[in-house]
Amino acid sequence: MFNLFKKKEQKVENPATPLRSVYAGNSQLNEWPNGDDNSVQPWSLFIEARSKLKNKQFKEAEKVYRQILSMPGLETRHYMQAWMFMRYFLKVQPAPDTAKRVYCVMVEVATSTGVMGVVGYADYSARSFHSSGGGVTWEKPNDSLNGQIDAMLKAGENAVNAIPLVLVDVLPNPPKQADHILINIATPSGLYHGLGTGDFISNDPYAGPILNAATDLLGALESLKK
């Protein structure tokens, strides 16, 4: 399982590692966006909310974040970031009917050369990242990967609704031991995550389908490079 992750690579620092938080919608307050000079929405709204947070105008900050959440058609990570900031800084939790909505699923595996992974989003964009650098960015130029992304999101939804996964606000560190796999499922409530060996994850009735779907999506992304 996940044979695509086991190809031989030169051991170098993984340039995708600093981007993990960006991929998972878990960037720091001052990083989403960097700087205060952006008049394009929703970036301008994130800047406005950040300013209100720093000035301890918490109710006003929440209103701005909720305005972002109400905007249709944004990149999924904007919704993920708005919820993260509300949970972390304002202690605001989502309503039960939206609490476990799956925004993205990210699967990472530790190999002898570093961490490799794939992530699929509810807006049907996707990313892959590799120990040797590179990877593929998919911004949904067409619907050809919708099926693979849907399968990954559905498997994540089944997991968060069926088992008591660990829920956190801050993205866990990547797996370090070879052949260990980390699954992160981003929701308005936070990041549900699970860590285990490849064999354990493959054989788990809920994690296994996530791994299978992630493998299929990774293969589809890799084929775009040929």
Overall pTM > 0.85: yes
Q: Is residue 177 part of a domain?
A: yes
86, 102 Cβ separation under 8 angstroms: no
pLDDT at 10: 46
pLDDT at 216: 98
Q: Please write the tens of the pLDDT for every residue from 103-148.
A: 999 999 998 888 889 999 999 999 999 877 778 999 999 999 999 9
User: How many domains would you assign to the chain?
Assistant: 1
Helix (H/G/I), strand (E/B), else coil: 186: strand
Q: In angstroms, rounded to a whole number, what is the distance separating the alpha carbons of residues 94 and 184?
A: 19
pLDDT, mean of residues 10-28: 75
Range of the domain at 123: 98-223
- In a domain, residue 32? The reply is no
- Place 11 in a pLDDT band, splitting at 50, 70 and 90: very low
Lookup: tokens for 159? 């997991």
Rounded mean pLDDT, 155-176: 93
In a domain, 82, yes or no: no
